[in-house]
Structure 1
Amino acid sequence: MRKSHGQSFKKQVIKLAECPACQGRAVVQGVFHELACEACNASGWIDGWTRQALPLDELVTQLGMNLRVATSQIEQLRNPQVTGPEELYQSSNRIGAGGTNFTGD
């Protein structure tokens, strides 16, 4: 087991969960109008493990990190990697005339 002192060099992604008080809406219904949710600092998100509101500076960092992960997942789904026989037709193997794609047809 390795000992370490001080803070980590990398920021860890915290699992976020929707606030149960406002159901992720960031506002709760008052008597006459909607009010900012006190349970989640009007963000709609809480720490998924401790179920406590995150400080605003930590919340901004975590939302940015989670957004970056979600964006990369969306890009992977938009551009699927082709495998199998279709890969021969989609990628250039540069063995045809003039360095073009040769499929053997």
Structure 2
Amino acid sequence: MKKSHGPDFKRRMIRLTECPACKGRGVVQGVFHELECGSCSASGWIDGWTCQALPLDVLAAQLGMNLRAAKKQINELKHPRATGPEASYQEGNRLGAGGINYTGD
């Protein structure tokens, strides 16, 4: 089903990059003290494709999506899944006596 108008059905993840003006810090050095960066709305992140600052509500949603994706990737790296012939030995199939794993040996 092709959408022709209205908001998207799902939010898409926007590629975020560090602000080049403040180098991702959110502040720039003034004459006497640090000032909020005007290029990124003091967040340190900008849209990677348009190089424009994102509205704060969109930025908050995007940071949350990026955090969840990073946590998922870290969890997958910590607990790799078995592949190949060993996968049948690692996962229970409940086919043995009393519902235990049956490997056919």
TM-score normalised over the length of structure 2:
0.80
Q: 1:39 to 1:79 in 2, by over 3 A?
A: same
Unaligned runs of 5+ in 2: none
Aligned length in residues: 103
How big is each residue's C-alpha offset from its partner over 1:10-61, in whole Å with a ceiling of 9 and x where there is no partner? Answer: 1111111110001111111112222211110111100111100001111111
1:37 and 2:66 aligned: no
Counterparts of 1:25-64 in structure 2, within 5 Å, are: 25-64=25-64
Q: 2-side partners of 1:9 and 1:53: how far apart? A: 23
Unaligned runs of 5+ in 1: none
TM-score normalised over the length of structure 1:
0.80
Sequence identity of aligned pairs in percent? 66
RMSD over equivalenced CA pairs, Å: 2.0
How big is each residue's C-alpha offset from its partner over 1:64-104, in whole Å with a ceiling of 9 and x where there is no partner? Answer: 11111111111111110012344355334556676555674
Alignment match, 1:79: 79
Q: 2-side partners of 1:101 and 1:5: how far apart? A: 52
Read off the aligned partner of 1:44 and give its amino acid letter: G
Read off the aligned partner of 2:74 and give its amino acid letter: I
Read off the aligned partner of 2:48 and give its amino acid letter: G
